[in-house]
Structure 1
Amino acid sequence: MTAPVPAPGELAAVKSPEPAVVEVDNPASPLLAGFVGSLFMAFGSVGVGWLAQASELWRLPVFIWMRTEGLGVALSIVLLAIGGMLLVRAWLRLGQRVKVWGPAARKATLQAVALWGLPMMLSVPLFSRDVYAYIGQGRLMVEGFNPYENGISALSNYFQLGADKMWTEAPVPYGQLFLWIEQFVVWSTNVHPEASIMLFRLVALCGVILCIIYVPKLAELHGVNPHRALWLTAANPLFLTNFIASVHNDALMIGLALAGLYYCATRRMLLGLVLVTLSISVKPITVVFLPFIGLLWAGKNAGWVRKFLFWGLTAAISLGILYALSLVNGFGFGWINGLSAPGSIWIWYAPVGLLGLIVASILDAFGLDGWALAKWVYDAGKVLAVGIVAWQIFRGDHDRLMRRLTLAFAAIVVLAPMIQSWYVVWLIPLFAITGIRDDWQVKALYFIVSFFMIYAISDQLDVFPYQAEDLGLALALARIAAAVIAVLFALYLIFLDPRTKWLFTKTHEPIPTRPVI
């Protein structure tokens, strides 16, 4: 029996199948570019990263040359600035390469996190020296001091630990869990700076992994594409530099908080509440999550009596856990006093900080005490933030509860007179899981990431060229050089780069007339 002859249309269908849709178009190029940028930053950190005086790395010839010779310092600045902005471009280009936000996009994002994060794991701490404060606080614990009552100046040779001088008399603002982590790290490494930094980086990496796991899960719960949310968060240069290169404990804080939110949102309330409480015991700022968890627990159509009941239950369980932890370490709730640790009270790019500066400058010009009134401005910003938090707690649609939490958290950050780049990183995962539209919202994120990368590159440099007569001048020149390089690179990305400029200025990507890397 002969086979039936296919119709012409059927034959054409057999011979010319529909081409498969490529989810990610050649991600290797941005992945490699980001890896090179991260390598540049790691090499640059040798010359201008934060290094403790007690570090043995000072004895290595390459460190001596890159930290004490003018040419070495200059090379370090150039590598750091170009590397940081290359990383920004690679992140933007990776997002552009994605045609369909599916499993292939997730794979490319995870490859980016691994490739871009690896050199940072091996770098000298960049953009912050808080990790050296962690070492000092851990040493306080090991030597039997109460870190809630003593600054690191209570230690012998504390100045060799590398911490900022603000920590010399400041009590610890961290919770019980992080105190134990600090104590364990310092005890296990015998106060060895580089070994301690590596262990703290592994702790931060745990927070990064928690974000990688729970950002997509939370995004799916909110009907947001989980793979795009992961790219916006985990491959973000601010996320990687602040959590890995800078070794901030905020990584563990936000990772635990996101995990807790997920379990609370899926009705595993006790597990979720324990995780959020552990987040609070790293840094207490996530205590603001508790009222929203109480609302999740109360349910969609809960009346006020039920809401107050579950607010009380949520607070009782969380505070009970914190109290139990305080009994174990014997330090109580001393971290409450630590929240007033001295530091920069304002910064020019924070809206409230800028407003206070303007008020103070105008009044000082008339011979008045401008800074006294500026403090009122800062206090007014804090009161407004509290009001917005209260509004988000008591008013709003239950289905937008996570977005309400995000807006409340954002109010605390934005209306503070001092905004650090890692404060912004607290917010990025929350906005990503509740939806960042592909319009002005994502463009705003691009500008924010670019700005804070430029500021970090130029602000936190450990420069000490021995041949310079004026260290202050040398540091100022180094910061200016780093800022100029980073700003020029950013201007190129925004106005000249044929592949990225449209991200900042146009709605849709133009059809390329020629291949561009």
Structure 2
Amino acid sequence: MQDRKPFTKYQNTGIILTLACLLLYFVFAYYLARTDYTTLIILYSILFLLFYKLVNIFKTNTRLLTGFAFAFRAMFILAIPNLSQDFYRFIWDGRLLLEGYNPYLFTVDSFISKGEHPVAQAETLFKGMGELNASHFTNYPPLNQLCFLIAALFAKTSILGSVIVMRLLIIAADFGTLYFGKRLLKLINTPVYNLFWYILNPFIIIELTGNLHFEGVMIFFLIWSLYLLSKGKWILAAVIFSFSVSIKLIPLIFLPLIFKWFTNRHSTKTLGFVKLLSFYGIVGLVSVLLFSPFLSTNFVNNYTQTVGLWFQRFEFNASLYYIARAIGYTFRGYNEIAIIGKYIPVLVIGFVLFMTFFRKNQTLPQLISSMLLVLSFYYFTATTVHPWYIATLLILSVFTNYKFPLVWSFAIILSYLAYVNTNNIENLWIIGLEYLIVYSVFIWEAILKKPLGQKKSAINEIADL
């Protein structure tokens, strides 16, 4: 009965906020064009404010918040994504796989330029995804391809049908994240409602459910794996972790961080080290097995080439990289992304190793905090930071005291200004404003804020080592 009191007390307010959210999500899903930047900002800002109010008012009624999360996602079921074109490539890959082709061996251009149409609605999908996407090999790992294949199986000739199937998969993953996330929060004695800063966040609902980005599925496997790891089921945790990697490669960056989790938590370091190597071995073996149906010399060349483009060719919504690029322009007179891009992985690897060997990482909060800081460093230095990338930071933050990812999930909407013009040229003043907000909160939380109780800044945590 106690769980229902907040709704009784704020019944009228709750009804008004919920109806307002449903209406705004409906408008967002079916009537908004991403080039209408002013409307986009206004709608998103209002939704974020309403979301913040809902979580704060009903934080003791998690069943009600879960109902809100389901209802808001349901508004997008029949909508074609309006802020991203990537889903056209998802549909293409799934249908290509269904026709018996290896999607890693062919660009879309390689068919269309010859007048070949290996899948239904080939021309529509080609025009929808755009020339840039069509000219490159796919970079989506095998379990992600399986999701595309499932959509093709159920909707071989319908774009909307494929969208609905993929959307249902992503929604199911979100509620899987809710299930295991709540259990993780209870293990570390953190309020369960923290999870709704992720589950109910308009950023998550719009970017994952609305725009069909599969970070949500990757996050589900990652949180499930962390839960299993915390319960001592490290073998199954390794298998599930490899599933996460096989949706998106980004969890690979977390693997070194579990070094002390194993080596300092067992009766002997030797036993911990053996389990650590076994964990890595299982992740590697399962990942190879998942990739094995597609393996060939051409696959390796195409895949590594495509992944490399994210470091040495693509640029979007970057921060520190844009500063380095400006310095390069000043002294060299041209864009040095090819040179700068080679050093970014070195910097990231160096920081990962520092966090691996100079942080404790023995408890779940310590481990997740390190994961959050490592991934943040990567995005701070990256050449490309698409809005949906922030989803992983946001889910990790709910298990920590850091709030800058929540702030970033609001500020990230500023990056969509690039779509106002046909050339997708970014306004660097707007990007600067986005990162001014994010870095201000990050610096305050990670460096300047004084420790309070169990809360410690990153600097204070390192000083304790």
TM-score (norm 1): 0.71
Give the 3 Å change call, closer, same or farther, for CA 323–89 of structure 1 in structure 2: same
Q: Which residue does 2:318 correspond to in 1?
A: 350
Give the 3 Å change call, closer, same or farther, for CA 191–369 of structure 1 in structure 2: farther
Q: Per-residue deviation at 1:340?
A: 2.8
Kindly provide the CA deviation profile for residues 64-90 of structure 1, in whole angstroms up to 9, marking residues without a partner as x: xxxxxxxxx9xx776544432221121
Conserved in 1, the CA contact under 8 Å of 2:176 and 2:220? yes
Q: Per-residue deviation at 1:38?
A: 0.4
Q: Per-residue deviation at 1:337?
A: 4.6
In 2, the alpha carbon distance for the partners of 1:472 and 1:176 equals 33
Work out whether 1:239 is the aligned partner of 2:204: yes
Q: Per-residue deviation at 1:350?
A: 2.3
Aligned residue for 1:370, secondary structure, equals coil
Aligned residue pairs: how many? 407
Work out whether 1:84 is the aligned partner of 2:84: no
Give the 3 Å change call, closer, same or farther, for CA 331–115 of structure 1 in structure 2: farther
In 1, the alpha carbon distance for the partners of 2:247 and 2:395 equals 18
Match of 1:264 among 229, 240, 249: 229
Q: Which residue does 2:288 correspond to in 1?
A: 323
In 1, the alpha carbon distance for the partners of 2:374 and 2:415 equals 25
In 2, the alpha carbon distance for the partners of 1:224 and 1:135 equals 40
Aligned residue for 1:423, secondary structure, equals helix
Aligned residue for 2:278, secondary structure, equals helix
Conserved in 2, the CA contact under 8 Å of 1:406 and 1:431? yes
In 2, the alpha carbon distance for the partners of 1:404 and 1:81 equals 32
Structure of higher CA gyration radius: 1
Q: Which residue does 2:459 correspond to in 1?
A: none
In 1, the alpha carbon distance for the partners of 2:326 and 2:123 equals 36
Kindly provide the CA deviation profile for residues 301-330 of structure 1, in whole angstroms up to 9, marking residues without a partner as x: 576644543332112111211222233455
Structure 2: where are the runs of 5+ without partners?
434-465
Conserved in 2, the CA contact under 8 Å of 1:31 and 1:112? yes
Q: How does 1:93-108 map to 2 (within 5 A)?
A: 93-98=53-58, 101-102=59-60, 104=61, 106-108=62-64
Conserved in 1, the CA contact under 8 Å of 2:86 and 2:129? yes
Match of 1:393 among 341, 344, 356: 356
Match of 2:82 among 119, 123, 126: 126
The residue identity in structure 2 corresponding to 1:153 is D
In 2, the alpha carbon distance for the partners of 1:217 and 1:163 equals 39
Give the 3 Å change call, closer, same or farther, for CA 184–329 of structure 1 in structure 2: farther
Kindly provide the CA deviation profile for residues 437-479 of structure 1, in whole angstroms up to 9, marking residues without a partner as x: xxxxx3x4554233212433x4457xxxxxxxxx949x99xx9
In 1, the alpha carbon distance for the partners of 2:89 and 2:29 equals 21
Q: Per-residue deviation at 1:431?
A: 1.1
Give the 3 Å change call, closer, same or farther, for CA 88–221 of structure 1 in structure 2: same
The residue identity in structure 2 corresponding to 1:346 is E
Q: Per-residue deviation at 1:27?
A: 2.7
In 2, the alpha carbon distance for the partners of 1:282 and 1:109 equals 28
Work out whether 1:203 is the aligned partner of 2:176: no
Q: How does 1:303-452 map to 2 (within 5 A)?
A: 305-328=270-293, 334=300, 335-341=303-309, 345-347=314-316, 349-363=317-331, 368-372=332-336, 374-397=337-360, 398-399=362-363, 400-436=366-402, 442=403, 444-445=404-405, 447-452=407-412
Q: Per-residue deviation at 1:216?
A: 1.9
Aligned residue for 1:121, secondary structure, equals coil
Match of 1:212 among 178, 183, 187: 178
TM-score (norm 2): 0.78
Identity of aligned residues (%): 16
In 2, the alpha carbon distance for the partners of 1:285 and 1:200 equals 21
Q: Which residue does 1:455 correspond to in 2?
A: 415
Conserved in 2, the CA contact under 8 Å of 1:389 and 1:411? no
Conserved in 1, the CA contact under 8 Å of 2:178 and 2:195? yes
Q: How does 1:51-200 map to 2 (within 5 A)?
A: 80-98=40-58, 101-102=59-60, 104=61, 106-155=62-111, 156-157=116-117, 158-161=122-125, 162-200=128-166
Q: Which residue does 1:225 correspond to in 2?
A: 191
In 2, the alpha carbon distance for the partners of 1:307 and 1:292 equals 14
Aligned residue for 2:24, secondary structure, equals helix
In 2, the alpha carbon distance for the partners of 1:36 and 1:307 equals 53
Kindly provide the CA deviation profile for residues 309-361 of structure 1, in whole angstroms up to 9, marking residues without a partner as x: 333211211121122223345569744454235696223x4222321332133
Give the 3 Å change call, closer, same or farther, for CA 369–191 of structure 1 in structure 2: farther
Kindly provide the CA deviation profile for residues 361-383 of structure 1, in whole angstroms up to 9, marking residues without a partner as x: 323xxxx34323x5444443432
Kindly provide the CA deviation profile for residues 35-86 of structure 1, in whole angstroms up to 9, marking residues without a partner as x: 12101102324xx36xxxxxxxxxxxxxxxxxxxxxxx9xx77654443222
Structure 1: where are the runs of 5+ without partners?
1-19, 50-72, 437-441, 462-470, 488-517
The residue identity in structure 1 corresponding to 2:346 is V
The CA RMSD measured in Å over matched residues stands at 3.1
Kindly provide the CA deviation profile for residues 146-169 of structure 1, in whole angstroms up to 9, marking residues without a partner as x: 222211223335442021322223
Give the 3 Å change call, closer, same or farther, for CA 126–304 of structure 1 in structure 2: farther
Kindly provide the CA deviation profile for residues 245-295 of structure 1, in whole angstroms up to 9, marking residues without a partner as x: 110111111111111111111111122221111111111211223334454
Conserved in 1, the CA contact under 8 Å of 2:218 and 2:244? yes
In 1, the alpha carbon distance for the partners of 2:21 and 2:374 equals 33
Conserved in 2, the CA contact under 8 Å of 1:85 and 1:453? no
In 2, the alpha carbon distance for the partners of 1:242 and 1:320 equals 32
Aligned residue for 1:108, secondary structure, equals helix
Conserved in 2, the CA contact under 8 Å of 1:250 and 1:422? yes
Conserved in 1, the CA contact under 8 Å of 2:73 and 2:171? no
The residue identity in structure 2 corresponding to 1:174 is Y
Kindly provide the CA deviation profile for residues 158-190 of structure 1, in whole angstroms up to 9, marking residues without a partner as x: 442021322223222122222222223224322
Give the 3 Å change call, closer, same or farther, for CA 164–254 of structure 1 in structure 2: farther
Aligned residue for 2:76, secondary structure, equals helix
Q: Per-residue deviation at 1:115?
A: 2.5
Give the 3 Å change call, closer, same or farther, for CA 327–242 of structure 1 in structure 2: same
Kindly provide the CA deviation profile for residues 121-161 of structure 1, in whole angstroms up to 9, marking residues without a partner as x: 22220321111111111232223332222112233354420
Conserved in 2, the CA contact under 8 Å of 1:130 and 1:164? no
In 2, the alpha carbon distance for the partners of 1:415 and 1:303 equals 38
Aligned residue for 2:383, secondary structure, equals coil
Give the 3 Å change call, closer, same or farther, for CA 185–401 of structure 1 in structure 2: same
Q: Which residue does 1:59 correspond to in 2?
A: none
Work out whether 1:30 is the aligned partner of 2:17: yes
Q: Which residue does 1:42 correspond to in 2?
A: 29
Higher relative contact order (CA 8 A, sep 6+): 1
In 2, the alpha carbon distance for the partners of 1:147 and 1:446 equals 36
In 2, the alpha carbon distance for the partners of 1:302 and 1:288 equals 27
In 2, the alpha carbon distance for the partners of 1:230 and 1:145 equals 40
